[in-house]
Structure 1
Amino acid sequence: MISTSGPLVRLSEATPATSALFRCGYAVPALAALAWWERRRLGAMSWRECRRAWLAGVFFALDLLFWHLSIGYIGAGLATVLGNLQVVIVAFAAWALLGERPSARIAVATPVVLGGAVLISGAFDAAPYGEDPALGVLFGLLTSLTYAAYLLVLRAGSGTGRRAAGPLAHATAVATVAIAALSPLFGGADLRPEWPTHGWLLLLALGPQVLGWVLITYSLPRQPAALTALILLIQPVTTVALSAVLLGERPSALQLAGCVAVALGVLYGSRPARQPALASSAQEGQVPNTSTV
């Protein structure tokens, strides 16, 4: 679902700040309705959960602004790949901050995935795709940093993992305000875009932002942070394919090889441990959580 984000941003032909603003703004009412339903079942969020969701919203605003700039400079497919290099940042940050030591599978799969991402980026191609690849890479790296911070904070703000809509609704509402405040630094936002721009932005909000991120937020507390980040690298592979079909972005042979490397790395790294985990859980009288996104 979130793989359609980049192509929808380009199809809207809106400025980076405009697409980021309406992506969040249009999503708030739907997320608020889901959060209200969730609150009736689970009760109100604690102030601690709210504060973490608000902080996540600030990081999400920066993530979207940097990423939408990168899309303009280097295309939807490559910008999505660059923005998803957060896998390394998340793995080491989760180890340092959350005490989640990366598993052996993730340790092996991560270099493979990153190598594939480098190939997808066109770094070794004679004529790299994009209006300004250097600026695209710069903003793509900034996207990775803020995306990693968003994932980690949102994961921490989801409590025991029973909530998905509430933290995301809070984060998206704060992101909307932050994007509006920061928009002059990113070329300004058009508050009255015309059709069909409105239609593409509405689809962007209700599809990737609401449905896609509700599912991701539900999954975040149920997986080790590094594993979640690794699985999310399925997104750039799919985006490269969608961008080729919808936008005419043609990946090279090396970029296609990178897609294969990413897919194989994700499949290997996402396989749960079997017997050792079962034995350990049996000794502790617990059932292991081996679900995947």
Structure 2
Amino acid sequence: MGTQDNQLPLPLDHEKTSSGESRPAEVILSSVIQELETFHHQIKDGYLLDIKQLQEDKVRLIQDIESLQTEYRQLQSQQFQILSDRVPPNPAWLKQLTQLVARNVEQSLIARINQIKAASDPPLLRPGASGLIPLSDLGEENLNNRELEAVLETSLNQTFQGLQQELGQYQSDLSRRLNNMQTLEQQVEALLETIVNRLQEQVGQPALRGDSSRLELPSGRPDTLPPPNAALTNRPEPVASKPKPTSPVQLGLFLALLSAVSLSLFNVCLKIILKGPQPREIFGIFSLEGIISPGIGNSLLILLLRMIVVMGLMPIVASFLYPPVWSDLRRFLQSGDRRLMLTVIGSGFFLFLSQVAIYVAIGEIPTGIAITIFFIYPIVTVIASWGLFGDRPTIIRVLAMITILAGGILCLPARNPNIAMGNVQVGVLAAILAGVTFAGYVLLTQVAAGKLHPIPFSLVNFGSIFVFSSVSLMLLPDNLGIDIQPGVWSGLMIGGVVLGVLTLSSYLLNNFAIRSAGASLASIIGTTGPALTALFAFWIIGETIKQQQVYGMALVILGVGAMSIERMIGSKPKTS
């Protein structure tokens, strides 16, 4: 770019000296913009090629690491096999050693007895007058035999003690070698984990730089692009030869908006499934009473039906989004890192509690109000991060927290005879509980960030929710259990399928939105969830809210959006 800036004045001076007329400023600006766009595309293509090459290198390195781990296990098994072949099992070896010692002792005893017998034969052949051996000679012979037995017993004890010492030394040496091998294995695993983490960081940094470059270029060009475009409309050749491509950021924002729309439709469909005090008018055409009444047991049943659909389709979606998902899950399960496992399962448990609570809240109070009260979770997240991680809140976060709290207070519903609502107190408390437990899920997700890829992390979370829902339905008491009519199972199954499909659609769209526009911009679009939910609830089922609650909803959206923007601005210096 420096060479181009130095060379731009030369053609202008040359034209002024050769012909007294200067080129139009619009033509010069259009040529400069074309050069900038060409340079931008070249840089972007170079980044994309580098990222693709780094991804290929990452896959190849992961394969090499897996092959090295396989070879290490094979060598370890071969070494154990060689040791077991060289040294027989302890019981058989001891038995053979005992037999050998017993055989040697027996031979020594036979030789010693023969010597004693040969030495004592003359006295034995000299009987007394009575033809009997004297008693004194017999006593002396018995004494010699006792001495011989004592000597043999002492030698046997010494031999066995020596054998026991040798066996103890061999056992301690073998255990020391096994401990050294285990220590070496742990060191190798730690080294491999460090290498993989560094490779992931190196692969992620160029992608973040590419995203930041794509985010900065459109923001810096609004003041300069409109005049050249207006001038280029008079020149059809460049416009026809080079059509303007769609920006990835715009595509990501559109996908994030579709993800928020899917979640809003999910909330409205859940409201339609749950029974209310009065039948609901669907698009003002026909009325629908609902399928089941709101409650903890029925909410768990809806969540279980939804998770059956999600767990049936999520493996396919996960393999499509992140092909190494199963190898990552296998390493996660075989790692033995109990802290990470408890963190992941704990985040799934908090997400499970949040889902059950928001189901109860949507069944009792207006849908948009329930989602707005649920959005108080950033307040809990900021306060807990300050207490647990020492992340002191900034002035912007404090002001945003005050704004969210004020909006939540304005949104609190009151009993209105013109609006059909259930138990307002239960609905408000359930929405607050949903926000608090969702904050716990967010905090545990931050703790596990970097240790497990988001796709396997989400798969484990969905599996945890499925297990917790099944177990909770079996352990619930009768007064909180399932309460449904026998003839509504078909409609309930259809509702579960619709909720599951909307869940996966929102998840898939949000994932692609993060890849195209970045997580910060996608989260900013996600803050429109309460407004979209209230809007769709008004269009589909005619659910209305007060003007005061509209103002509160706007304050909540403004506060959450301010937190997201502040987090995005604070993360730019780290990624640049």
Q: Which band: TM-score by shorter chain?
A: 0.7 to 0.9
C-alpha distance in 2 between matches for 1:169 and 1:159 = 16
Moved more, 50-59 or 152-161: 152-161
C-alpha distance in 1 between matches for 2:270 and 2:450 = 32
Matches within 5 A, 1:1-293: 1-12=262-273, 13-14=291-292, 15-37=298-320, 38-40=322-324, 43-45=327-329, 46-47=332-333, 48=337, 49-122=340-413, 130-159=421-450, 163-183=453-473, 184-185=476-477, 186-188=480-482, 194-207=489-502, 209-213=503-507, 215=510, 233-272=527-566, 281=573, 287-288=575-576
More helix by share: 2
- Paired residues of 1:31 and 1:168 also in contact (CA < 8 A): no
C-alpha distance in 2 between matches for 1:201 and 1:81 = 24
1:116, distance to aligned residue in structure 2 (A): 1.5
C-alpha distance in 2 between matches for 1:118 and 1:217 = 35
Q: Can you list the C-alpha shifts for 1:188-224, whole angstroms capped at 9, x where unaligned?
A: 28799634433332222222x32434637996xx879
1:111, distance to aligned residue in structure 2 (A): 1.3
C-alpha distance in 2 between matches for 1:34 and 1:82 = 31
Whichever residue aligns with residue 44 of structure 1, its letter is D
Whichever residue aligns with residue 287 of structure 1, its letter is T
Q: Can you list the C-alpha shifts for 1:3-57, whole angstroms capped at 9, x where unaligned?
A: 3332121223343122111222211122222334525279414354544222222
- Paired residues of 2:530 and 2:557 also in contact (CA < 8 A): no
Whichever residue aligns with residue 424 of structure 2, its letter is P
- Paired residues of 2:410 and 2:551 also in contact (CA < 8 A): yes
1:94, distance to aligned residue in structure 2 (A): 1.8
Q: 1:195 to 1:246 in 2, by over 3 A?
A: farther
C-alpha distance in 1 between matches for 2:324 and 2:309 = 23
- Paired residues of 2:357 and 2:433 also in contact (CA < 8 A): yes
Unpaired runs of 5+ in structure 2? 1-261, 274-290, 293-297
Question: Normalising by structure 2, what TM-score?
Answer: 0.42
- Paired residues of 1:25 and 1:173 also in contact (CA < 8 A): no
Whichever residue aligns with residue 98 of structure 1, its letter is F
The structure number with the bigger radius of gyration is 2
C-alpha distance in 2 between matches for 1:275 and 1:182 = 42
- Paired residues of 1:74 and 1:132 also in contact (CA < 8 A): yes
Q: Which has the higher contact order (CA 8 A, sep 6+)?
A: 1
1:178, distance to aligned residue in structure 2 (A): 0.7
Unpaired runs of 5+ in structure 1? 289-293
Whichever residue aligns with residue 89 of structure 1, its letter is V
1:167, distance to aligned residue in structure 2 (A): 0.9
Q: CA RMSD in A?
A: 3.6
Moved more, 42-51 or 103-112: 42-51
- Paired residues of 1:122 and 1:128 also in contact (CA < 8 A): no
1:251, distance to aligned residue in structure 2 (A): 0.5
Q: 1:230 to 1:40 in 2, by over 3 A?
A: closer
- Paired residues of 1:86 and 1:144 also in contact (CA < 8 A): yes
- Paired residues of 1:69 and 1:139 also in contact (CA < 8 A): yes
- Paired residues of 1:122 and 1:254 also in contact (CA < 8 A): no
Whichever residue aligns with residue 493 of structure 2, its letter is H
1:133, distance to aligned residue in structure 2 (A): 0.4
Whichever residue aligns with residue 152 of structure 1, its letter is L
C-alpha distance in 2 between matches for 1:258 and 1:29 = 39
Q: 1:21 to 1:42 in 2, by over 3 A?
A: closer
Q: 1:95 to 1:127 in 2, by over 3 A?
A: farther
- Paired residues of 1:39 and 1:166 also in contact (CA < 8 A): no
C-alpha distance in 1 between matches for 2:405 and 2:561 = 14
Identity of aligned residues (%): 17
1:79, distance to aligned residue in structure 2 (A): 2.0
- Paired residues of 1:110 and 1:230 also in contact (CA < 8 A): no
